[in-house]
Structure 1
Amino acid sequence: MAIIRNPILFSEQFGLSSSDLEKAGLVDPFLNVDTPLFIDPLLIPKSSIPLISHNALADFRHHFSGVVRLLTISQNEGDTPWKAARRLLSLKEPPENGLGYGTGERSGTSRPEELRETILRTMKEIVTLGAQDPEMISLMGLFEENVGPDTISDLTTRVISTQLVQLTSSFCSAHGVPTKPVKLSPGDDEVLLPHYKGTNGSERAIVLVPRDIIRDLPMANDWSDVQAAIDANRDIRDKVNQFLGTIIKPTVTERKEALRRAALSSPDFMNALLQTLKEVASHYDPNKDALGYYKLKELLHANLDELRVDLAFKLEDGPENVLKVVQKTLEHFKHHVENGNLWEALWEGDKPKKERAAQLIYYAIADTFCEANDLDISPEANMGGGPIDFKFSKGFHARVLVEMKRSSGTVVHGYEKQLEFYQNASRTNYAVFVVIDFGDLGEKLERIMEIRNRRIAAGQRASEIVVIDARKKASASKRH
């Protein structure tokens, strides 16, 4: 995970107004930190941009129709048609679009070959059933646990890259954004795209993406939306319940398996499921802003000064002073949530937003402290067993970890097991566990405090606990 400093928006980098991209219907991406938004192929036909809803859709269907045809005539894995289908199903990362997981400075490596084989096997199973819709690729995240949203998004980006390049080039030409010729793949013709040089010194091309084909998770990877689609169709709901049998409280995994079995029971059912998901798919709503992406842009554009505190710490004196910086960032974040109106950015109507919303807003605040103290902050740093939310570091030895949990989440497990594992992997004694309390914390705080006190009494390492009250409040102007 590369180190991120000073989040940079495309509009900021090229001297534009964010509204320029908004009017064009395009995402204003961060260039040095990826945003967890993904292209959902089910949204392509619904785009308001004809180049996407017509041309890109035609290319998408043509490409995956080719995969379907090849799998139809394939007799065995590894035969000539299978190999040809494999070549069409490239999992190499596409041109940079600033979406997905990671830092936005990725190298463009391919995913494991076994993942591609898994997708091909599932598609072959569906083809053998008799279903032929090329958009079945959209369902792979529903049927296979290892097919994440980034895989579906990147597959789609590669296939519709011609149209994305056209949109990007046209926008840049109209707004005076400098472009350079680049070949997206060996053997391709050169295209004109804007470029960005990252902190690692490498320069990469950027493609812009329409706002109305992105979601926080593609439909087939968001079980809450899938469940809503199932509930809306009685035939699908009854069939899934039939395969769930007598399970009283099925897990998401059990529900997915039941849906998989139901979908593979007949081509008619498979087609009905795909059609239902197409109908209910909707793009990421800026008004709800479930991830806080637009709030983060707002903070970076307008309100950063009021969140800034230029305090200097002697970080060379050891990790204890890195911890002091982290404590100050959390104090500041806590203050603006509890005593200001920042809590509003953590709610979507009457529902708390996802953890990512709090993480992105906290990141904007913490980055100002890191800039003042020449401190590195790595969001979603991988500690060997998965990503910790934040790693603050000054050199190799001075490290502090921060993990955030919503009060409705796995608070006790996160504190007792998960954070401890990350600390061991990172080889640091300093970590802070942050609980965003939306009013449903219950006895979880008492339980993690008991764990902390027990560890301290035994002379063991015990991560700090910070609770931030994010419950709904009256506006600041109405408080006394």
Structure 2
Amino acid sequence: MARVKDPTLFSVYFGVESDALQAAGLIDPFLDVDINLFIDPVLLEKSSHPQIRKQGIDEFRRHFQNFVRLLAISKEENDAAWKAARRQLDLREPPENGLGYGGSGRSGSSRPEDVRIAIMRTSKEIIELGANDPEMVSLMGFFEENVGADTISDFTARVITEQLASITEAFCKANSIPVHDCNVSTDHKLPLFTTVRGRKVPIVLVPLDIVRELPVANDWSEIERAALQNARIRDRVNRYLGGLARPTIADRKFALRKAAMGSVEDFDLFLAAVKDNVTSYDPNLDALGYYRLKAIFSNGFEGLKQPRTYNLSVGPQEIIRLVNDTLDLFKRHVEKGNLWEELWIEGKPKKERASQLIYYAIADAFCKANNVDISPEANMGGGPIDFKFSSGYAARVLVEMKRSGGTVVHGYEKQLEFYKDASQTEFGIFVIIDYGDLGNKVNEIRQIQQTRIDIGARASEIIVIDATPKASASKRK
């Protein structure tokens, strides 16, 4: 994964007010960091943008009607019709819109062939039920474990590229942003972003009302909630779950799949329920903290003093001091200021991503001032660690951030240690965001920490941040 330094907003780079994008109903994207949102094709026909609501949905349906038609006439895998359908399913990641799980770089990628085959096989199974709605592909992330929401977003974006390019070109011309010919669109010109390596990258803007937040670990709970608004589906799901006291995500997915794919009528009912009840990402709730992150990078962080300098030549201990200072500042604003409010949504904790993004924005200011690389969600062979701070090869510090209601003990005892081994460093900091449900977990991990210290091993630091609701500053003593 590429390192992230000085993330750049579209509005800042092109000198346009972020409010202008908001007024136009468009995301103000980071040009060098992916946003954890995805285009949901179920939302296309609900868009306030006529290019999407009319031409976009028509193009999406036309494209996948052809896909469905080819699969319907295919007699066996790898016959001519199957291969033609396969060509209709372009899973390459479009780097121009900056949506997805990627932490940085925005470079497009392709997905394994088995993902494409999984989508095609499930689509064929649905077609054999008698269903032919081309929007069936919208639900593949739910029906197939290896198909993520970002995959669905990417093939949707490629199908409606011309409509997105049209919206982008119109906004840029209205706001005096230069546009240029590029290989993304045949009919429209797009703005170009010059990367740190001098490469010119075309940018496509995406409407706010066709995106949702990316589910974590393929947890499509929103799809589940939307589908269960229908009483018939709800009753069928409850029958499949039977007497399970605590059904797992896998149990619920199995029950929903069975409920949806019992017959063509069941599938059509399931798809209709999802389309009726799924909604776009709400900027007012800001469950991911994206808008707070954007505000910090646009206007700075109130209360963030000019970071002091650090003598990085003395080794990793100095980077640890820098990282601890960033965490101290984050902790102070959550516990003593009002930043805790940004971590809650309608009386419930926001997703883990929200606290990570806000902390990242604060830490970036320190790193920028001291020429330290910060890589959010850096993958070092053992999976994605939340943050890696580095200066040269030897000086690396990892930070893992967990919600108190999550797998805290496993995260400290196993996960962080695995990441440290993979990245060949001894330095790790484990941060717990405490929403009031921590229980005895912190005592358990402190015992693990002490045991490691007693045998002479290096134990990762533990920091607990109290994110429980506080009284207003004027009422605190």
Shift, 1:101, TM fit = 1.6
Tell me the secondary structure at the aligned position of residue 182 of structure 1.
Answer: coil
Tell me the secondary structure at the aligned position of residue 208 of structure 1.
Answer: coil
Shift, 1:199, TM fit = 2.7
Structure 1 counterpart of 2:28, one-letter code: D
Does the CA contact (< 8 Å) of 2:162 and 2:187 recur in 1?
no
Q: Which runs of 5+ in 1 are unaligned?
A: none
Answering whether residue 102 of structure 2 is matched by residue 102 of structure 1, we say yes
**Stretch moving more, 280-289 or 89-98:** 89-98
Shift, 1:243, TM fit = 2.4
Structure 2 counterpart of 1:304, one-letter code: F
Shift, 1:201, TM fit = 3.3
Structure 2 counterpart of 1:105, one-letter code: G
* Number of matched pairs: 477
Q: 2 CA distance for matches of 1:303 and 1:5?
A: 15
Q: How does the TM-score come out when normalised to structure 2? A: 0.97
Shift, 1:386, TM fit = 1.5
Shift, 1:305, TM fit = 5.5
Does the CA contact (< 8 Å) of 1:95 and 1:207 recur in 2?
no
1:311 equivalent in structure 2: 308
1:476 equivalent in structure 2: 473
Shift, 1:234, TM fit = 1.9
Does the CA contact (< 8 Å) of 2:3 and 2:104 recur in 1?
no
Q: Deviations over 1:373-400 (max 9, x none)?
A: 1100000100212110000000111000
Q: 1 CA distance for matches of 2:127 and 2:280?
A: 29
1:144 equivalent in structure 2: 144
- Write the mapping of 1:370-385 to structure 2, written as runs, cut at 5 A: 370-385=367-382
Q: Which runs of 5+ in 2 are unaligned?
A: none
- Write the mapping of 1:204-215 to structure 2, written as runs, cut at 5 A: 204-215=201-212
Q: 1 CA distance for matches of 2:278 and 2:305?
A: 39
Tell me the secondary structure at the aligned position of residue 26 of structure 1.
Answer: coil
Residue of structure 2 aligned with 1:291, choices 288, 296, 319: 288
Does the CA contact (< 8 Å) of 1:95 and 1:158 recur in 2?
no
2:341 equivalent in structure 1: 344
Q: 2 CA distance for matches of 1:194 and 1:452?
A: 51
**Stretch moving more, 245-254 or 127-136:** 245-254
2:132 equivalent in structure 1: 132
Q: 2 CA distance for matches of 1:137 and 1:160?
A: 15
1:36 equivalent in structure 2: 36
Does the CA contact (< 8 Å) of 1:142 and 1:220 recur in 2?
no
1:269 equivalent in structure 2: 266
1:175 equivalent in structure 2: 175
Q: 1 CA distance for matches of 2:11 and 2:454?
A: 53
Tell me the secondary structure at the aligned position of residue 66 of structure 2.
Answer: helix
Q: Deviations over 1:237-294 (max 9, x none)?
A: 2212222234332111111012212222100000100000111110111111001101
Q: Deviations over 1:113-159 (max 9, x none)?
A: 11101100010010011111100001101011111111011011001
Q: 2 CA distance for matches of 1:217 and 1:312?
A: 37
Answering whether residue 57 of structure 2 is matched by residue 60 of structure 1, we say no
How has the CA–CA distance of structure 1 residues 299 and 95 changed in structure 2, closer, same or farther, with 3 Å as cutoff? closer
Does the CA contact (< 8 Å) of 2:148 and 2:218 recur in 1?
yes
Q: 2 CA distance for matches of 1:108 and 1:220?
A: 21
Answering whether residue 431 of structure 2 is matched by residue 460 of structure 1, we say no
Tell me the secondary structure at the aligned position of residue 235 of structure 2.
Answer: helix
Q: 2 CA distance for matches of 1:220 and 1:125?
A: 25
Q: 2 CA distance for matches of 1:349 and 1:241?
A: 28
Q: 1 CA distance for matches of 2:109 and 2:352?
A: 28
How has the CA–CA distance of structure 1 residues 428 and 253 changed in structure 2, closer, same or farther, with 3 Å as cutoff? same
Answering whether residue 158 of structure 2 is matched by residue 161 of structure 1, we say no
Structure 1 counterpart of 2:97, one-letter code: N
Q: 1 CA distance for matches of 2:346 and 2:42?
A: 26
How has the CA–CA distance of structure 1 residues 106 and 22 changed in structure 2, closer, same or farther, with 3 Å as cutoff? closer
Shift, 1:367, TM fit = 0.6
Does the CA contact (< 8 Å) of 2:33 and 2:98 recur in 1?
yes
Answering whether residue 396 of structure 2 is matched by residue 399 of structure 1, we say yes
Shift, 1:454, TM fit = 0.9
Q: 1 CA distance for matches of 2:339 and 2:16?
A: 27
Q: 2 CA distance for matches of 1:253 and 1:335?
A: 39
Q: 2 CA distance for matches of 1:58 and 1:403?
A: 44
How has the CA–CA distance of structure 1 residues 106 and 32 changed in structure 2, closer, same or farther, with 3 Å as cutoff? closer
Shift, 1:476, TM fit = 1.8
Q: Deviations over 1:293-350 (max 9, x none)?
A: 0111122222426224321111111111111100100001001111111111111120
Shift, 1:220, TM fit = 12
Q: 2 CA distance for matches of 1:402 and 1:302?
A: 26
Q: 2 CA distance for matches of 1:437 and 1:377?
A: 24
Q: 2 CA distance for matches of 1:238 and 1:445?
A: 41
Tell me the secondary structure at the aligned position of residue 94 of structure 2.
Answer: coil
Give the % identical residues: 57
Answering whether residue 324 of structure 2 is matched by residue 327 of structure 1, we say yes
Does the CA contact (< 8 Å) of 1:92 and 1:109 recur in 2?
yes
2:254 equivalent in structure 1: 257
Tell me the secondary structure at the aligned position of residue 397 of structure 2.
Answer: strand
1:122 equivalent in structure 2: 122
**Stretch moving more, 248-257 or 303-312:** 303-312
1:88 equivalent in structure 2: 88
Tell me the secondary structure at the aligned position of residue 181 of structure 1.
Answer: coil
Structure 1 counterpart of 2:252, one-letter code: R
How has the CA–CA distance of structure 1 residues 149 and 203 changed in structure 2, closer, same or farther, with 3 Å as cutoff? same
Does the CA contact (< 8 Å) of 2:402 and 2:431 recur in 1?
yes
Structure 2 counterpart of 1:343, one-letter code: W
Does the CA contact (< 8 Å) of 1:183 and 1:190 recur in 2?
no
Answering whether residue 21 of structure 2 is matched by residue 21 of structure 1, we say yes
Structure 1 counterpart of 2:167, one-letter code: L
How has the CA–CA distance of structure 1 residues 293 and 88 changed in structure 2, closer, same or farther, with 3 Å as cutoff? same
Shift, 1:104, TM fit = 4.6
**Stretch moving more, 211-220 or 420-429:** 211-220
Tell me the secondary structure at the aligned position of residue 207 of structure 1.
Answer: coil
Q: 2 CA distance for matches of 1:272 and 1:220?
A: 26
2:72 equivalent in structure 1: 72
Q: 2 CA distance for matches of 1:86 and 1:377?
A: 39
Residue of structure 2 aligned with 1:446, choices 423, 428, 443: 443
Structure 2 counterpart of 1:268, one-letter code: E
Does the CA contact (< 8 Å) of 2:398 and 2:429 recur in 1?
yes
Shift, 1:221, TM fit = 5.2
Q: 1 CA distance for matches of 2:180 and 2:310?
A: 42
Does the CA contact (< 8 Å) of 1:43 and 1:283 recur in 2?
yes
Q: Deviations over 1:170-191 (max 9, x none)?
A: 111111111121012xxx7363
How has the CA–CA distance of structure 1 residues 274 and 219 changed in structure 2, closer, same or farther, with 3 Å as cutoff? farther
Cα root mean square deviation, aligned: 1.6
Q: 2 CA distance for matches of 1:252 and 1:476?
A: 40
